[in-house]
Copies of this chain bind each other. A is one copy, B any other.
Amino acid sequence: MGGMRSKLTTLRWRNGILYLLDQRSLPLRKKFVRCRTYADVAKAIKEMTVRGAPAIGVAAAYGLALAAKSSRRYGKAKQLEVVRKAARVLASTRPTAVNLFWGIERVMKKIEEAAGGNESLYKVALNEANKMFNEDIEANRRLGRYGASLLPERCIVMTYCNAGALATVGYGTALGVIRAAVEDKKRVTVLVPETRPKLQGSRLTAYELEVEGIDYRVITDNMAAFVMSKGMVDYVIVGADRVLARTGHAINKIGTLNLAVLAKHFNIPFYVAAPLSSFDFKSDVEEVVIEERSEEEVLSVNGRPISPKNARALNPAFDITPPELITAVITEFGIYSPKELISLSERQ
């Protein structure tokens, strides 16, 4: 499989083990979590050791390879049973990002096809996971080039959460656009909302930009209207955990809808950057399950309480931005208005 494609390694397969950069402890500590079983991968996705729609799609694919590996001494029927169970477990970790289901489906299709033959199911799964790994970087780079073409020589871009190398295999979607613009010698300053409760902005996006030497400022999420009202934001570019191709809705980290409404109010272009692996060509908006995470994430920071002892909280992990608030969607096949997305179904 491919070597280092950026200064950051989100996930790495080596000697039959999946290594995941532990995103819970960044930027203070850089350490890797070893996944030797599919259960390790499921746990890592659930606990957000690895996060970001494209990254968890590829991690789940490697999870299936691990399931096929651990069961490769059994008969094929039994092995298939193990891998199918792994697929169910992995699919149940997080309900919203579509890449997870896409990654699992892609590998399972290859495995089911190969089940009758002589090929090693482990090899089949691993090949497909490696293929997805490489395709993800490639798709991000192409998406980044399309997006960069939208940006002038000098601008201030607000992004959100982390849609960077850490959310993908290695280049990023929204941050991929910014990376590509900087590679073109454009002078981009990035405004980074911290993205409570898990602080993917101030922890992960700031870390990536720091590593790359790209100019940025962290803001708290509630400062977005202020900076927009002061004319300090030229573009908003966010990633997506799921894009509904039929209607043009974008499901992304909680708070994205805030920014989309504000951008509309202040007449700032609002772009969603997402590869086709994040597209859902089937679902209607009513069918999307918004993950509710533990109240504890809101009521504490870094494990320390910030609220009264018996406080209650809400913790929806995602929100839904309707097409009328989205200027365009940047994909690896070009830039599309939300209404045109369905035409991408032939690219699947």
A residues engaging B (CB < 8 A)?
A: 27-28, 193-197, 199, 202-203, 206-207, 210, 216-227, 229, 254-255, 257-258, 260-262, 264-265, 298-299, 301-302, 304-314, 316, 319-320
Contacts and interface: CB of A to CB of B under 8 A. Distances in A.
Contacts of A224: 258
A190 to B, nearest CB: 11
8 contacts: A195-B222, A202-B307, A217-B312, A217-B314, A220-B254, A229-B319, A261-B261, A302-B306
A226 to B, nearest CB: 4
A309 B210 CA distance: 9
Given A28-B305, A202-B311, A308-B27, A222 B223 contact: no
A340 B298 CA distance: 40
A312 B257 contact: no
Given A196-B220, A218-B299, A225-B258, 12 more contacts: A202-B307, A203-B307, A207-B308, A210-B311, A216-B312, A218-B307, A222-B258, A223-B314, A225-B257, A226-B257, A261-B262, A264-B265
Contact of A218 (B193, B218, B220, B312): B312
Contacts of A221: 196, 220-222, 255
Nearest to A226: B319
Nearest to A313: B218
A264 B196 CA distance: 23
Contacts of A28: 305
A143 to B, nearest CB: 25
Contact of A314 (B207, B227, B258): B227
A279 to B, nearest CB: 22
**In the complex, the 4 A-B pairs of residues with the closest C-beta atoms, listed nearest first:** A222-B255, A196-B220, A221-B222, A225-B257
Contacts of A307: 27, 202-203, 206, 218
Nearest to A221: B222
Nearest to A316: B226
A193 B304 CA distance: 18
Contacts of A301: 301-302, 304, 306
Contact of A225 (B27, B206, B319): B319
Given A27-B307, A28-B305, A210-B308, A222 B203 contact: no
A261 B226 CA distance: 11
B306 A304 contact: no
A304 B27 CA distance: 12
Contact of A311 (B206, B314, B316): B206
Given A222-B193, A298-B218, A210 B310 contact: yes
Contacts of A309: 27
B206 A308 contact: yes
Given A218-B298, A226-B319, A316-B223, A199 B258 contact: no
> In the complex, which of the residues A216, A309, A313 has the most CB atoms of chain B within 10 Å of its own CB atom?
A313
A65 B298 CA distance: 42
A254 B225 CA distance: 9
Contacts of A262: 258, 261-262
Contacts of A220: 196-197, 221, 254-255, 298
